[in-house]
Amino acid sequence: MPQNDLSDRVAALNARYRHHSATSVLAHALGDAQAGRLALVSSFGAESVVLLHMVAVTRPETPVIFIDTEMLFAETLVYQQELAERLNLRDLRIIRADPADLRRDDPDDTLHRRDTDACCTLRKTLPLQRALGDFDGWITGRKRYQSGTRAALDFFEIEEGTDRIKVNPLAHWAREDIRTYMEENRLPRHPLVSKGYPSIGCMPCTTPVREGEDPRAGRWRDNDKSECGIHIVNGRVIRKGVSA
């Protein structure tokens, strides 16, 4: 689709749903021809259960894409299985890196020690881009409060460098909204949250967060990195102050 047409479509969607709630935006997006065919991309991390629950009660047949980097915490894998069953997710798609790519680029599973960006590209970004090839857009859990670069985040946006859209139903939510929604719907928390992991990624690159630290401080600690590469701004990975 020509970029101008896509821009017009995204602008129209934002105008149409500007004053709607998160649940309403999600429900309408999943049924709006202007939004196209959508998938929810979920890490099954600390806050993921909110959108997973919204999808489950709105349209449980929505495709849910889970990227198994094969370096995740065992707790994340168990949590993913338990949530999928509890929420009756009917189209869960577990994706992984191409085995040939792994044999070529990371045969001994040590790439993360030498080049974290290359590891994230190999195990996250490339598999996701392949999985999204059949979709017109995808649903994310991005929120305005997460960083200054997201302060003007809209419900709908164009994915950088593609002709797909991103849908951000929680764009206007605060941390308190996440906590309230989970409590009101009695949703289970990721087991690592109570152990000091407010942001959870791959096991080799995630550490507990100390009191007073930023919730993302445990991701790629001591590295000039804060994004895995799935969310790109202005054609590049944002290094500081951005959470996935």
- Whether the pLDDT of residue 190 is over 80: the answer is yes
**All structural domains of the chain:** 3-205 (3.40.50.620)
Is the alpha carbon torsion for 109, 112, 114, 116 positive or negative?
A: positive
Question: At 219, phi and psi to the nearest 5?
Answer: -95, 120
Name which of 16, 49, 33 is nearest 156 in CA terms.
16
Closest CA to 51 of 9, 89, 17: 89
CA of residue 218 relative to chain centroid, distance: 17
Amino acid code (one letter) for 77: L
Which tokens hold the place of 82? Answer: 């338990």
Burial class (CB in 10 A: 0-12, 13-18, 19+), 149: middle
As given in the structure block, the two tokens for residue 193 are: 């949250």
Tens-place pLDDT, residues 97-116:
999 999 999 999 999 999 98
For the segment 72-100, what is each residue's pLDDT rounded down to a tens digit? 999 999 999 999 999 999 999 999 999 99
Residues involved in catalysis? 228
| 140's tokens | 């994310």
Query: Model-level pTM?
Result: 0.85
Q: pLDDT tens for residues 129-161?
A: 999 999 999 999 988 765 544 456 889 999 988
For tokens 């309230």, the residue is 180
Q: Please give the residue that has the higher pLDDT: either 235 or 127.
A: 127
**pLDDT at residue 192 in the model:** 96
Structure token digits, residue 59: 């349209």
Mean pLDDT estimate for the chain = 86
Average pLDDT over residues 47-74: 97
